């Protein structure tokens, strides 16, 4: 099993939000290989490469659950520090094995290394989702702006480039320009504290109205 480290893990470990149920096993960017399946599970088999993200369970009946927006369900339970169907506390991916409901498990394609795939289950989906909502997956050639080049930002740059867009990274750190352009393939880099650069940025980014 592989598991990414999300900043949320650190908040939970330190009980920053006052909701941690100790003992806690963090980790919600998980990939692994299936070693056992329940008798009613049809979409997965032994040996399948799979991923598990932030969600362990939800009500499955509300408007959100029925529209693939389980993350908005008010009975949502998370991969760790949540309450599973059987009433037990959920434990996350910093572990040698994990029990998950098949409805919250995804297949990992063969051409995607398991270690690189793990962070896509939280950091990746977080930046993928707005791109999908803005129809950026099927309409290349847009001008995409990405604010911040951290754990999420660098994934966003790679995805936006892969979907064929012109990418501008906006950062407070001038030292990240090389990484943005050379390593990740961004087209432009703006330092957000530089008013002049930001003015130029207006022409580098498309704005959407919701
Ligand atoms: Zn996360
Ligand atoms: Zn629901």
Q: In what order do the strands lie in the sheet with 49-52?
A: 2-3, 30-33, 49-52, 105-107
Per-residue tokens: 196: 């002049």
Q: Which CATH number fits domain 125-201: 3.90.870.10, 3.40.50.460, 3.40.50.720, 3.10.20.90?
A: 3.40.50.720
Helix axes 151-162, 123-133, angle to 10 degrees: 40
- Residue-wise pLDDT for 164-190, tens only, equals 999 999 999 999 999 999 999 999 999
E strands, the chain, are: 2-3, 30-33, 49-52, 55-57, 77-78, 105-107, 143-147, 166-171, 188-191
Distance 17 CA to ligand 1 centre (A): 15
Distance 103 CA to ligand 2 centre (A): 13
Backbone CA torsion sign across 111, 115, 121, 124: negative
Ligand nearest to the CA of 119: 1
The pLDDT value recorded for residue 200 is 81
Ligand nearest to the CA of 4: 1
- Looking only at the bridges linking them, the beta strands covering 77-78 and 55-57 are antiparallel
Domain spans in the chain, listed from the N-terminal domain onward: 2-120, 125-201
CATH 3.90.180.10 assigned to domain 2-120? The reply is: yes
- Residue-wise pLDDT for 98-109, tens only, equals 999 999 999 999
- Residue-wise pLDDT for 112-147, tens only, equals 999 999 999 999 999 999 999 999 999 999 999 999
The pLDDT value recorded for residue 210 is 47
Ligand nearest to the CA of 62: 2
Distance 125 CA to ligand 1 centre (A): 9
Distance 199 CA to ligand 1 centre (A): 33
Q: What is the mean pLDDT of residues 18-34?
A: 97
Asked if this assembly's ipTM is beyond 0.90, the reply is: yes
Q: In what order do the strands lie in the sheet with 166-171?
A: 143-147, 166-171, 188-191
């Amino acid at each position: 099993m592989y598991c990414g480290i999300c900043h949320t893990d650190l908040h939970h470990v330190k009980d920053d939000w006052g909701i941690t149920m100790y003992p806690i096993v963090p980790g919600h960017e998980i990939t692994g290989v299936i070693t056992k399946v329940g008798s009613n599970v049809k979409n997965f088999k032994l040996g399948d490469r799979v991923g598990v993200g932030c969600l362990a369970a939800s009500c499955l009946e509300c408007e959100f659950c029925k529209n693939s927006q389980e993350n908005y369900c008010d009975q949502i339970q998370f991969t760790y520090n949540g309450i599973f169907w059987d009433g037990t506390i959920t434990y996350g991916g910093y572990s040698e094995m994990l029990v998950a409901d098949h409805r919250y498990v995804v297949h990992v394609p063969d051409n995607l290394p398991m270690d690189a795939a793990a962070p896509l289950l939280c950091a990746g989906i977080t930046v993928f989702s707005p791109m999908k909502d803005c129809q950026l997956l099927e309409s290349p050639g847009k001008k995409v702006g990405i604010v911040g080049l951290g754990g999420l930002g660098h994934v966003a740059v790679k995805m936006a480039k892969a979907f064929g867009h012109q990418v501008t990274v906006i950062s407070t750190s001038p030292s990240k320009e090389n990484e943005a352009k050379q390593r990740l393939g961004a087209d432009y880099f703006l330092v957000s504290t530089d008013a002049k650069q930001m003015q130029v940025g207006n022409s580098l980014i498309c704005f959407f109205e919701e």
